Amino acid sequence: MKLIIGLGNPGKEYTGTRHNAGFHWVDRLAEMLHVTLKPEARFHGLCAQVRQKDMELWLLEPQTFMNRSGQSVAALCQFYKIQPDELIVIHDELDLPPGIAKLKKGGGLGGHNGLKDIAAKLGTQDFWRLRIGIGHPGERNAVVGYVLHPPKKEEAQLIDEAIQRSLEVWPLLVQGACEAAMLKLHTKV
């Protein structure tokens, strides 16, 4: 992996919302790696370059709002010549309940505007995704309000646990051992 992207919306009013699960994941990883995300205008996002031993990669939180995430991702990918199979997008997932995190490569976009824009800008859907379950409100017309509000306390705890559990497979992800990471993450202990 050369690029880790956390999806969310910028601004204090969105900080604790379900839609910002990807930002939360990348923030926690940055803490673990002792790096600070900083504004980078040419990439339209908050970025950090990580260099440890033989590893060099970027962390990115697009600041373009969710439905324009691809602008930020494509800018960084083009500049550093990063291919779609060398990145992973961490995002909220309506189709998974809180407490569940799943890893997959490619597939459908599930109506997720951030993923749609990234796929459009990269010209492919064939990239890794780490999906953090946030649950579904039950009605399609309630989705926008649901994702843009904070989860209930018990849901927030489950989402946090899923983020923590998925961060445990980080060493495998960075080595490019995504299949092994998927097996470990998806296996119930």
List, by residue number, the catalytic residues: 19
CA-wise closest residue to 103 among 180, 39, 48? 180
Q: What is the dihedral of CA 148, 153, 156, 158, to 10 degrees?
A: -140
Q: Which 3 state secondary structure label does DSSP give 17?
A: coil
From residue 11, alpha-carbon distances to 35, 62, 69 in Å are 21, 12, 15
CA-wise closest residue to 174 among 1, 26, 42? 1
| Whole-angstrom distance, CA of residue 83 vs CA of residue 80 | 9
Tell me if 161 sits within 8 A of 99, measured CB to CB: yes
| Cα maximum dimension of the chain | 48
Please, is 79 exposed, middle or buried when counting C-beta atoms within 10 Å of its C-beta (0-12, 13-18, 19+)? exposed
Q: Name residue, tokens 């010549």.
A: 81
